[in-house]
Amino acid sequence: MGTVVTIDVYPADHPSGPEVSLGLARARATLRRADAVFSTWKADSPMSRLRRGEIRSEEAPPEVADVLELCAVARDLSDGWFDPWAMPGGVDPTGYVKGWAAQRALGDLASNGVTGAMVNAAGDIASFGAPDRSTPFRVGIVTPFSPGDLACVVELTGAIATSGGYERGGHLIDPLTRRPGTRAASASVSGPDLGLADALATALVVAGEEGLGWFGSLDGYEALLVLPDGTWRWTEGFPFTFDVPGVAAR
C-alpha cells in the first residue's frame, strides 16, 4: 500500500498481556497480507498482475473480488466521483483498500483486555473505544494551506479519513477527465468504516461542494470540506469538539 501504519492500544490492565500481544500480531499480519495482495508498487503482487492483464480477477486471492465489490458500491454512492476503474494503468483500489486494511486490523485488536485502540494509516484512522472510561479519542485535522498547523479537532467515535493534494501533489485523479484535478483543498469524512470514509474523502476532494449532497442519505457519515479560497463547508453532524471560529458558514 506504500504507506506507514501505526497502532495504539490501550489495555485495561496488563500492557503486555497475552490477549493484547496476540491481537497486535494478528493486526500486523492483516496489514502485511493487504500490502502483499494489493500493492501497486510490488510488480509481483496479485493486484499488479491483474492490472497488467496477467491474471483474471477470479484467479486473484478472494479478497481482491471483495474489495472491488466494495469499490463499486463506493462508486455508486459517490455518483462516480470515486472510480478505481478510471485510474491510469488499470483498476487501482488504493483509495479504498488502505482504509479497508486498517479497519480489518482494528478488528484484530478487539478483546476483553483492551479498552480502546487506533490504527493510523498515514493519517486516516480507524478506532474503537477510548483511552480510558472518561476521555474520548480526539484527533486533529491539519489545514491544507499550512500542513504543520491544525485546522480543527474532532471527537472520534469510529473512523476518519482526510484527502487532499497538499502533501503528495497532483496524485488525485478526476474520473471525468482521467487527469489529476481537484475542486477542493481538502476533504475529511468521518463514519463507522474507514474503507468507505477513505473512498468518500477521495471522491469529495475531487468533486467539491456538490459532493456534500451524498451525505444526506449516508447514515453515520459526515464531511468537512475546505475550499481553495479557504472557506469551509460541513455537514450538520461533523464531530467538531468545539465551535469553529473565523470560518465561513456551511
Is 240 part of any domain?
no
Indicate whether 47 belongs to any domain. Answer: yes
Give the structural domain span for 39: 5-234
In a domain, 245, yes or no: no
Instruction: Look at residue 44 and tell me if it is in a domain.
Output: yes
DSSP letter assigned to residue 237: T
Q: Is residue 158 part of a domain?
A: yes
Q: Which residue has the cell 466521483?
A: 81
Domain count, the chain: 1
CA angle 111, 112, 115 (to 5 degrees): 85
Q: What φ, ψ does residue 72 adopt, rounded to 5°?
A: -65, -40
CA 27, CA 119: separation in Å to the nearest integer?
9
The answer to the question of residue 239 being in a domain is no
Q: Find where cell 451524498 sits.
A: 214
Report how far residue 68's alpha carbon sits from residue 195's, in angstroms, rounded to the nearest whole number.
12
Residue 20, in any domain of the structure: yes
List strand residue ranges (DSSP E) for 165-237, in order: 173-174, 179-180, 186-191, 222-226, 232-234
Pairwise CA distance, residues 127 & 246, whole Å: 30
**Which residues, other chains included, contact 207 with Cβ-Cβ below 8 Å and sequence gap of 6+?**
78, 79, 81, 183, 184
- Set of cell numbers at residue 91: 483498476
Whether residue 134 is contained in a domain is answered as yes
The pTM (predicted TM-score) of the whole model is: 0.93
The one-digit pLDDT tens for each residue of the chain (250 residues) are 678 999 999 987 666 678 888 999 999 999 999 999 999 999 999 999 999 999 998 999 999 999 999 999 999 999 999 999 999 899 999 999 999 999 999 999 987 778 899 999 999 999 999 988 778 899 999 999 998 899 999 999 899 999 997 766 668 999 999 999 999 999 999 999 999 999 999 999 999 999 999 999 999 999 999 999 999 999 999 999 875 554 544 4
- Residues 106 and 127: beta-carbon distance below 8 Å: yes
What CATH number is associated with residue 65? 3.10.520.10
